[in-house]
Every structure is written in C-alpha cells, then in structure tokens.
Amino acid sequence: MKRYWLLFSQWVTVLLAIWFVVATLQPQWLSGYPSAMQGMTLLQAPPSSSGNRPAGSLSAPAQKASPAVVSINTSKGKRKDNNPLAQDPWFRFFYGDPDEQNTAGLGSGVIVSPEGHILTNNHVIEDADDIEVVLSDGRKTMAKVIGTDPDTDLALLQIPLKNLPVIVLGQTTDMQVGDVMLAIGNPFGVGQTVTSGIVSALGRNQLGINTFENFIQTDAAINPGNSGGALVDVNGHLMGINTAIYSRSGGNMGIGFAIPISTAKQVMQDLLKNGKVIRGWIGVEPQELSAELAESFKLPLTGPNALRSGVVISGVLQNGPAAKAGIRPGDVILQVDQQSVGNVSELLHQVASLKPGAPAQVRVWRQQTEMNLQLIPAERPAAKTQQR
C-alpha cells in the first residue's frame, strides 16, 4: 500500500509541474480550464497622498514653486521700410509687404511680490513693444517694465492682477555644490516644465555673458524659453534666475547658468527705488595680472611683504575719476576701499559697490612702491546693448 501511495504522489507531482509549465508558457492550450488567477485577491498599493510621496520625490518643491513661475510672450512692432519703392504695388507683389514683418519671443519670469512684481532676464523683454504674461492658472495680462539692468541681464516687470502666487526667496549663503535644484520655466514654448539637477559650481565668472558675473552653474536642463525662469531648492525657495546655457547645438548640454537671488534681490531693490541700478565707476581698462607681468613690474612674490594678487591698469580714461586721482597706465591696483583685489572680476564688483561722489581709497603698486590714492568715483554709464 505504501508503494502505491508513493507512485500516486510522484505522478501527481509530475502532472502539476507539467500543468504549471504549460499554463505559464502556453496558456491558450488550457483555454477550456478556469484561469489560475480567478478567485485570487490582488493586493494593490493605495494611492499616495500629497504628503506621502515616494522617497526621493521632488513633487513638493515643484508644486510649491511652480504657480509663481510665469510664461512671457513678447512682440515687436511692425518694421518700417525706408525703401521708396516699398509702396509700389509691383515691388510689394514680388518682395512682400515689409509692414507685415514682425518678430516675437518667449521666455519665463518669477512673481516675487504680492504687488505683481516679476523678475526675468533683460534679454527676454529687450526692445519689446508688447509684453504678455501668462500665469500657470491660465490668466493672461499685459505687463509694464519697472526697470532693466543690462549689466546683470535682469529686468523687473509688474502686472495688474490680484491674488497672485508669490515665491519664497531663498538664501544663497546656504547653497553648496551638490545641492539638488529644480529649473522651472517654459522651454521652447511647450508649457511649464520642471527639470532637476544639482549645483555644479558657484561663483562662475569671466564667461563673457554679462558685465557683472557671479553665476550658479547647474546641470538641470535649461533650454531656450527657460530664460528668466526659477532655479529653486528642495524647499521650493527661489535661489536663482535661469539665464544662459553653454551649448554647441542650441539645446541643453548639462551646463546652465543662473543669477543668484542675492544679486537679483539687490537689483530689484534699486530698480524699485531709483528706476535704475546705480554703480560706481572710475574709468580704467583693467587687465589680469599674469606671472610674467608681475615679474616685469617687479612685484615682491616672496617674503613677508609678498603681493600675490592685483590687477594691471592698461588704460585710463582722460579726465575720468581714476585719471583725476593720479592713477596711470601700468599701475597695479592692489586694494579698493581696503578690500584686496584678486582679479578683474573682483575689481569690477568692488568699484561698482562704491557710492558715486563719496571719496574712496585705492592702493596701487608703482615703480616698486606701494601708495594710497584718493579718488571720487562717478556713476557708471548705462550699458550698451550686447549681442547675445
């Protein structure tokens, strides 16, 4: 009896194994049999609430910051043609109507106050005749320009709407390389888009983008149309205004640049108060101090009185503040207002921070001697439009 029972068990095991293999690989052969899944209760995860997102989700900062990011559509008026034949019907038939030629652009902006102030890039609204702002909730309105600052490529707009979503301004002093960032904007006009990345570097300058540069570099995808949009941290706080990308094709290559909110906040305050940004200016042409120039000027590079930084003055504007103070071509500026000068970028920022009309001390190296000169900075002239 025991032997028959063993044979029966073996056959049942083999048949079940065969049935399982067939049901897995060729279920159509068993179409006449009830499915093995019938009668089984499937356990599914309940829908996640907004406060219980999967680990690593960035939906919270995206939802917090996105309503304050707007799309900006600009247009320029119809171009006038001075050609005397422009009104000739045959000329217009063959060459088209010049009055119908107009241009349009798009970009992004960030609402930074309940009064409707919007930060964006100057190049987004530059030379525009009409500026339309589209909110994330679908509202549209025309914006007016409060002021622009081409030197930092920033502009401040205002819209006449109420109940506006306002972004929280962050603190760039808390930012470190490796922090996760979100870039929010309207790339290529497809609609509001959120991309993520990290802070790749801080304090990027000498890129030839703006006169005053102190960029945040990020690998979050930034494309045409993202200009003027928000760079936010994991708390949804505004850390920068997306401005430019490094690209060989015109698209994102993982190297984007944003203006720190600390710079944008200062520019915004000046534009609200004065309608423009007032900076100091001394009228010199600076040049980086290379090792060869330091040797030719016989700067002490070793010892207790070593001078390891400075900026060479290669030109001085006639009758400018520097010329009146006695600064000459060939001088090496070591300090401005008791702050050491390390490179041309630092010199520009330190001079810009001087108050026009207020005396300031400049320490220079001339003919193997250090000397202090007093100058009275003037107001920096308006920047010329740059080809971006």
Catalytic residues: 123, 153, 227
The C-alpha atoms of residue 66 and residue 85 are separated, in whole angstroms, by 51
The C-alpha atoms of residue 264 and residue 259 are separated, in whole angstroms, by 7
β-partners of residue 216 are 258
Terminal Cα-to-Cα distance of the chain (whole angstroms): 95
Closest CA to 102 of 124, 81, 75, 142: 75
β-partners of residue 356 are none
**Helix, strand, coil distribution of the chain in percent, nearest 5:** 25, 30, 45
The C-alpha atoms of residue 140 and residue 150 are separated, in whole angstroms, by 26
Closest CA to 257 of 276, 270, 247, 244: 244
The two tokens of residue 369 are 């001697």
The C-alpha atoms of residue 313 and residue 289 are separated, in whole angstroms, by 9
Distances (CA, A) of 128 to 30, 119, 245: 71, 16, 22
Chain CA centroid to CA 360, Å: 33
Distances (CA, A) of 329 to 280, 287, 314: 20, 11, 5
Closest CA to 280 of 335, 342, 349: 349
